[in-house]
């Protein structure tokens, strides 16, 4: 199986793709989020790995917008990647001598406390990715260090000067795998969907839709909204629920929701992530469901 991801190599997207890849799989680096999805839609890959939510920063809006407006690919799996930022540089480099710190803007923000307390004399410089940052530092004529991943260190030849410098040890990013079909029911599933309205705002219209889930004893895991991109002040509502779209009570609830909304789009049903998912090989199981 071929898995596309947002490149270059050394990013957390590659880490997510590798976490799903089996020995015979290959991973395909792409230049943009749209290209990651296009690779599957045009046959260059079988599965697209996309970040969808970070515990600190919240929703990855570009992925949500692509799911809502641009693609008919289905979510077939999810994985959660711990975000462990490493301070990287040349072997033996004394961080007290550093003048410049390279890092992706999000990584710099997520290591703010370490930077302010340990590197107050250092100028922060934005890099394009977590893999570009150590390359920028190693190529710099000014004494420089970088924030990056262990994979980026491996690829660039940088060394870990200080491990795990992130401000929050619980920082994780949730990734979803997109394919032409979603996953068959497993008994421990999640369904993601969105809905909106094609009529003027009415009091209680969102509540009426969500009450369908409550009346069917369906647990709603997440609710958020995104601008519809059609009319100012018009929103699309995104929902995650426990259960598979083919479960009879879920299927009936979705029919009722469809009747109450202007549109309803199911992003897919897929196994809930567990820490031993790689051993369970839920994405590997997709080989039996992905054309």
Closest by CA to 133, choosing from 108, 109, 111, 165, is: 108
> pLDDT (tens digit, 9 = 90+) per residue, 101-115?
999 998 999 999 999
> pLDDT (tens digit, 9 = 90+) per residue, 149-190?
999 999 999 999 999 999 988 889 999 999 999 999 999 999
pLDDT of residue 278: 44
Q: Which residue segments constitute the domains of the chain, with CATH numbers given?
A: 1-83+168-180 (3.40.190.10), 86-162 (3.40.190.10), 188-270 (3.30.70.260)
On whether the CB atoms of residues 125 and 95 are closer than 8 A, the answer is no
Mean per-residue pLDDT, 193-213: 87
> pLDDT (tens digit, 9 = 90+) per residue, 279-291?
343 444 444 344 3
Mean per-residue pLDDT, 238-251: 97
pLDDT of residue 282: 40
Distance between CA atoms of 135 and 151, rounded to whole angstroms? 12
Higher pLDDT, 117 or 11: 117
Q: Which residues of 223-235 are buried (b: 16+ CB within 10 A; e: fewer)?
A: ebebebeeeeeee
Mean per-residue pLDDT, 29-44: 95
Residue 61 vs residues 30, 54, 89, 136, 196: alpha-carbon distances, Å: 18, 11, 32, 28, 17
HSE, side-chain direction, 13 A CA sphere, residue 252: 8
125 CB-near residues (< 8 Å, 6+ apart): 100, 101, 102, 103, 136
Q: Which residue has the tokens 């949500």?
A: 64
Closest by CA to 40, choosing from 176, 174, 177, is: 177
Residue 127 vs residues 132, 165, 172: alpha-carbon distances, Å: 6, 17, 21
Mean pLDDT across the chain, nearest whole number? 90
């Amino acid at each position: 199986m071929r898995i596309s991801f947002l490149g270059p190599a050394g990013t957390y997207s590659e880490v997510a793709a590798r976490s799903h890849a089996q020995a015979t799989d290959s991973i395909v680096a792409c230049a943009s989020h749209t290209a990651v999805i296009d690779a599957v839609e045009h046959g260059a890959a079988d599965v697209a790995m996309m970040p969808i939510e970070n515990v600190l920063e919240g929703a990855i809006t570009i992925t949500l917008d692509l799911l809502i407006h641009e693609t008919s690919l289905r979510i077939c799996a999810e994985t959660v990647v711990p975000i462990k930022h490493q301070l990287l540089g040349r072997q033996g480099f004394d961080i007290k001598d550093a003048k410049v710190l390279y890092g992706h803007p999000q990584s710099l923000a997520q290591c703010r406390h370490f930077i302010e307390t340990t590197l107050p004399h250092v100028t922060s410089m934005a890099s394009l990715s977590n893999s570009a940052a150590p390359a920028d530092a190693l190529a710099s004529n000014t004494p420089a260090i970088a924030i990056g991943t262990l994979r980026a260190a491996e690829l660039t030849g940088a060394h870990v000067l200080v491990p795990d410098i992130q401000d929050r040890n619980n920082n994780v990013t949730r990734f979803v795998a997109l394919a032409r079909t979603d996953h068959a029911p497993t008994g421990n599933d999640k369904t993601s969907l969105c809905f909106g309205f094609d009529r003027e705002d009415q009091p209680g219209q969102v509540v009426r839709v969500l009450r369908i889930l409550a009346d069917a004893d369906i647990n709603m895991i997440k609710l958020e909204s995104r601008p519809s991109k059609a009319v100012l002040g018009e929103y699309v509502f995104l929902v995650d629920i426990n259960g598979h779209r083919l479960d009879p009570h879920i299927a009936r609830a979705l029919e009722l929701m469809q009747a109450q909304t202007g549109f309803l789009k199911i992003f897919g049903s897929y196994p809930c992530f567990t820490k031993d998912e790689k051993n369970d090989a839920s994405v590997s199981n997709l080989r039996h469901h992905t054309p």
